[in-house]
Amino acid sequence: MSLPSFGQLHRQADEFARSLPVVVVGAADRTVLESMRVATDRGWIAPILAGRAAEIRRLADSLGIGLDGFTILDIETPAEQATAAVAEVRHERARLLVKGQVATPTLMNAVLDPELGLRSSRVVSQVVLMEVIPQQRRFLLADTGINVKPKLASKIEIVGQTIDVARALGVNQPRIALMAASETVNSAMPETVDAAEIERRNQNGEFPNARVQGPLSFDLAYSIDAGGKKQIEGGIVGQADALVFPDLLSANLTVKAIMYTADCQFGGVLAGATVPVAFMSRADTAATRLNSLALALAILRNELSPNTTKRR
């Protein structure tokens, strides 16, 4: 089974329609209010908005966006908003967290607080679902937003989290490509050595519910034709469900290049926290915020399933 389209994720959220309480950090933003209004009207969520109440109400009034069904936490600074939002989740007044108009470091300081945050025993990473519309291709990318230069142990955690996200979205045996500039192992390129080691571990039984191959360049992960021309074989070549990058630089450049040059849809989440976090850029459109929310809700539904085995 392939990864779902965003249209499918939206329909699944419509069918679930439980008006789950979610808390938004940095809610005084047009795209945040628009997306929360749509999700509320469709029965997905009951939003709790953390921000300056007067500013939120003034903006909503200027845009003609009703705030019925919304709860507003009147909080002054972004850091205080992030702390309060995390507390809503910790006290089970919200089921997931949504990144609004707030800087990533500010939000992550609250999420990763060792006493009051949403830390688990796992590394936290960002996983993006990308849908390239003309080719009808869908794949995950990780870690596109958090870990700058992860060591081997953290890379293994990120691979595991990416597998968990793929399985939560219905892919029983995800195909994971470990990305590098070259498919050849070269000690001068440490990322290729790490990729080969992770593939070896997969062959020896680690990640039993996935197939992992690397190092692979982007063309090999994406295009079967490239594999034929380069004479590179393997079950992942040209059909990867997920691309796991060696560092933040390569991941972030790749995902933003696709976002701004391809005919695509996308949404992102944080994996590895105690709850899913809908997490993308402050520059997002309302449609992308809605996509990220639908993605986070799909993962949450899977975690709430009694048949799901949870890693912590």
| Tens digits of residue pLDDT in 259-302 | 999 999 999 999 999 999 999 888 889 999 999 999 999 999 99
Residues 98/90/128/151 CA torsion (nearest 10 deg): 140
Please give the single-letter amino acid code of residue 261.
T
3 state DSSP class of 63: helix
| Chain CA centroid to CA 302, Å | 15
- Start-end of CATH 3.40.718.10 domains in the chain: 121-270
- What pLDDT band is residue 185 in, cutting at 50, 70 and 90? very high
In angstroms, rounded to a whole number, what is the distance separating the alpha carbons of residues 284 and 288?
6
| Tens digits of residue pLDDT in 196-252 | 999 999 999 999 999 999 999 999 999 888 877 787 778 899 999 999 999 999 999
| Chain CA centroid to CA 122, Å | 15
Would you tell me how many other CB atoms lie within 10 Å of the CB of residue 254?
18
pTM: 0.94
Give the DSSP per-residue string, 121-140. Answer: SS--EEEEEEEETTTTEEEE
pLDDT in the model for residue 308: 57
**Selection from 281, 263, 264, 298 nearest residue 10 by Cα:** 298
φ/ψ (deg, to 5) at 249: -60, -55
CA distance between the termini of the chain: 26
CATH topology of domain 1-120+273-312: Rossmann fold (3.40.50)
Extract the tokens encoding 186: 């070269």
pLDDT in the model for residue 90: 96
Specify the residue for token string 């990640």: 207
| Tens digits of residue pLDDT in 61-113 | 999 999 999 999 999 999 999 999 999 999 999 999 999 999 999 999 999 99
Average pLDDT for 156-165: 97
- Start-end of CATH 3.40.50.10950 domains in the chain: 1-120+273-312
What percent of the chain is modeled with pLDDT above 70? 98
| Tens digits of residue pLDDT in 83-97 | 999 999 999 999 999
Would you tell me how many other CB atoms lie within 10 Å of the CB of residue 301?
17
| Tens digits of residue pLDDT in 118-144 | 998 899 999 999 999 999 999 999 999
H or E stretch covering 211: strand 211-216
φ/ψ (deg, to 5) at 53: -60, -45
What are the distances in angstroms from CA 169 to CA 9, 138, 215, 250? 9, 12, 25, 25
**C-alpha angle 1-287-175 in degrees, rounded to nearest 5:** 25
What percent of the chain is modeled with pLDDT above 90? 88
Q: Would you say 243 and 139 are in contact if contact means Cβ atoms under 8 Å apart?
A: yes
CATH code given to domain 121-270:
3.40.718.10
| Chain CA centroid to CA 92, Å | 21
In angstroms, rounded to a whole number, what is the distance separating the alpha carbons of residues 263 and 111?
33
**Selection from 101, 119, 108, 57 nearest residue 83 by Cα:** 108
Extract the tokens encoding 139: 């794949």
In angstroms, rounded to a whole number, what is the distance separating the alpha carbons of residues 112 and 232?
41
Within 13 Å, how many C-alpha atoms sit on residue 270's CB side? 28
